[in-house]
Structure 1
Amino acid sequence: MQLIITDAWLARSRAIHLSGTRMVAAFLAVSLALMLIAAALYHWVFLKGARERWPVIGSVVRFVVADEFEQRDRFMRENLDAMAKRLGEIQARMLQVEALSERVSGLAGVNPTDLKLAAARGGALVEGRPLSLEELQATLNDLEQLTGERTDLLTVMESRLIDQRLKKMMVPTQQPLPGADIGSRFGWRIDPFTGRQALHTGLDFSGEVGTPIVAAAGGVVVTADTHPQYGNMVEVDHGNDLVTRYAHASRLLVKKGDLVKRGQRLALVGTTGRSTGPHLHFEVLVQGVPQDPHRFLHAAQVAGR
């Protein structure tokens, strides 16, 4: 295509040659310019109409805004309902945990009322109507507080139960010579050496030489030495002025200062010291005073029934 431009004042003309490619480019440029001008004009008219509340444009704006708010509200409502349902499930579980913690607290010797932890402040979710954001937030706060209280109570109960277990493990209720028969019991008897009445301060367990002797409870070895009357002897301190004594051993397997646990081997049965034959002489002393070991062993048997 060829365009001829004539200037009347200068009395001359100019020819412009346009190929197919140039024509397409020119057409696209003009179209783009028209689109930008139309978009700018539409935007200016729409904003001006919305600000000055022109009847038609104002209605369109209100419709668009209302639809947007409706979609946003529907989205929030669905999320709130889902959160409320989940929160209800959590509250139901918390009620179960609370009931369980109150039962366990009785076993641990803890009174939830004294700790001001028994009353649940969370309450139940309101059913039959949707929850507002404020109600949901308040319920979450109550649930968080209740969770903290339950955690405190369970921590105290755990501590009490551990303490009880430790105390139980430190009481000599384990038979020091498992499966052995009891010979001489605690109390007054005729002494086999003097033939006179004398107090037998422990229990004698019959056993063959070399049979393992185990700790009746956990504690610290305070004596592991030879005694003129008790022969090879081990004494274990269990705390609270409670000591157990294992006498007449053929061999000691621990030394002073060792930390031993319930059922751990301490020595081997023998007949050292003032003894008439292989056996274990077992004593329980409280503040240095001999006690009947059968009371402790029998207590363990009763508790295990």
Structure 2
Amino acid sequence: MQLIIMDARLARSRSITLSGPRLLLAVLGLALVLMCMAAGLYHLVFLKGAREGWPVVSDLVRLVARDDTAQRERFMRQNIDAMARKVGEMQARMVQLESLSDRISGLAGVPLPSNGSGKAGAAPGQGGVLVASRPLSLGELQRTLDDLEQLSGQRADLMTVMESRLMDQHLAKHMIPTQEPVPGNVVGSGFGWRIDPITGGSALHTGLDFATAQGSDILAAAGGVVVTQEFHPAYGNMVEIDHGNQVITRYAHASKVLVRRGDLVRRGQKIAEVGTTGRSTGPHLHFEVWVQGVLQDPRKFLAAGDAATRTQGARASPLPGRAAAGAVARR
């Protein structure tokens, strides 16, 4: 393509030859310039018409703005409704959590704070037929979330207290010497005054004797810390366990000791084997309980453990009437 430019005043002409690539670049450049001019003109006219209130332009601006606002409101309403449904689910789970905390607080012995309904820890009754509803505002949703956050914080603190109380109860239960040190064996000699088997005179027997075979297992009556592991002239191979609260148990005449001073032991753990070391006439375990430095009858503690075991077994077993009814039904 060839362009000829003529200048009449200077009486001369100039020709420009455009090849294929140059022609394409020229067309693209011209199109870009026209687009920029059209966009600038449209922007200038549109803004000026919107500011000055031109009839057609101002109507278009209002329609565009109204449509954009409505679209934003629909989007926000959808998000708020979705958040409201999530908040409703959180409230339902919080009610379940309150019910669970009520039951656990009874086990832990921790009183629940009153919620203003007159009953401590009770969630107010809610429900019924849906008569009318309206969408929640953002402020109402925020207040509901704040209330849930406050309630969840209170419940978390309460759960922490109950966990600590239950842990204390669990430790206290396992620190009381109620486990038989030699299970299934009858006590040969009880606590109190008796005829001494060696001297034949009257003497105070300071514990319980469990006569059993040589090498039988000796179990810790409760969890605690081994404070003594030594050979005593009268007690022979002896182990003492401190259970806290100034409660100590002593295990004597062992043939073999499996723990050392400073060891942590748990309830029912094997700590030694039955023997006849020390002042003894035959294989047996001599078992003592000390409370605040005073000897106690170990039977009281072992009997308490047996009673607790029977109580748990009664709770776990089905009622006789139900069992009989089930038997009849099976027939």
Q: TM-score, normalised by structure 2?
A: 0.82
Matches within 5 A, 1:24-173: 25-113=25-113, 118=121, 128-173=133-178
Other structure's SS at 2:262 match:
coil
SS in 2 for 1:229: coil
Equivalent positions of 1:216-295 (< 5 A) are: 216-295=221-300
CA RMSD of aligned residues (A): 2.7
> What amino acid is aligned across from residue 270 of structure 1 in structure 2?
G
* SS of residue paired to 1:41: helix
CA distance in 1, matches of 2:4, 2:175: 117
Deviation at 1:200, TM superposition (A): 2.6
CA distance in 2, matches of 1:209, 1:115: 63
Question: Contact 1:2–1:15 at 8 Å: present in 2 too?
Answer: no
Partner of 2:318: none
Supply the distance in 2 between the matched residues of 1:101 and 1:176 (Cα, whole angstroms).
37
Q: 1:7 to 1:239 in 2, by over 3 A?
A: closer
Question: Quick one: structure 1 residues 3 and 264, their matched pair in 2 at CA, closer, same or farther if it must change by over 3 Å?
Answer: closer
Deviates more, 1:214-223 or 1:17-26: 17-26
Q: Which residue number in structure 2 is paired with residue 203 of structure 1?
A: 208
- Distance in 1 (CA, whole Å) between partners of 2:187 and 2:115 is 48
Deviation at 1:19, TM superposition (A): 4.6
Match of 1:186 among 187, 191, 210: 191
AA aligned to 2:262 is: G
Superposed displacement of residue 131, structure 1: 0.8
SS in structure 2 at match of 1:136:
helix
Structure 1 residue runs without a partner (length 5+): none
Deviation at 1:85, TM superposition (A): 0.3
Query: Structure 1 pair 45/260, CA: closer, same or farther in 2 (3 Å)?
Result: same
Q: Is the contact made by 2:249 and 2:290 (CA closer than 8 Å) also made in structure 1?
A: yes
How far apart in 2 are the matches of 1:178 and 1:188? 25
1:268 is displaced (CA, Å) by 1.7
Cα distance, 1:291 vs. partner? 1.5
Q: Tell me, which stretches of 5 or more residues in structure 2 are unaligned?
A: 313-331
Taking a change above 3 Å as real, the CA distance of residues 223 and 115 of structure 1, as seen in their structure-2 partners, is farther
- Kept in 1, the 8 Å contact 2:115–2:122? The answer is no
Tell me if the contact between 1:217 and 1:263 (Cα under 8 Å) persists in the aligned partners: yes
* Post-superposition offset of 1:252: 2.7
Aligned length: 302
Matching residue of 2:307: 302
Percent pairwise identity: 62
Cα deviations by residue, 1:94-140 (Å, 9 ceiling, x for unpaired): 1111111121111111112289994779x99x982111100111111
Letter of the structure 2 residue corresponding to residue 286 of structure 1:
V
Q: Match for 2:180 among 166, 175, 181?
A: 175
Q: Which is worse superposed, 82-91 or 289-298? A: 289-298
The one-letter code matched in structure 2 to 1:139 is T
Paired AA for residue 93 in structure 2: R
- After TM superposition, the runs of 4+ consecutive aligned structure 1 residues lying more than 4 A away are 1-6, 17-20, 22-28, 114-117
Contact 2:233 2:278 in 1 (8 A): yes
Q: Distance in 1 between matches of 2:12 and 2:163?
A: 105
Check whether the contact 1:4–1:13 (CA below 8 A) recurs between aligned residues.
Answer: no
Q: CA deviation at 1:71?
A: 0.6
- Identify the range of structure 1 (283-292 vs 157-166) with the bigger mean alpha-carbon deviation: 283-292
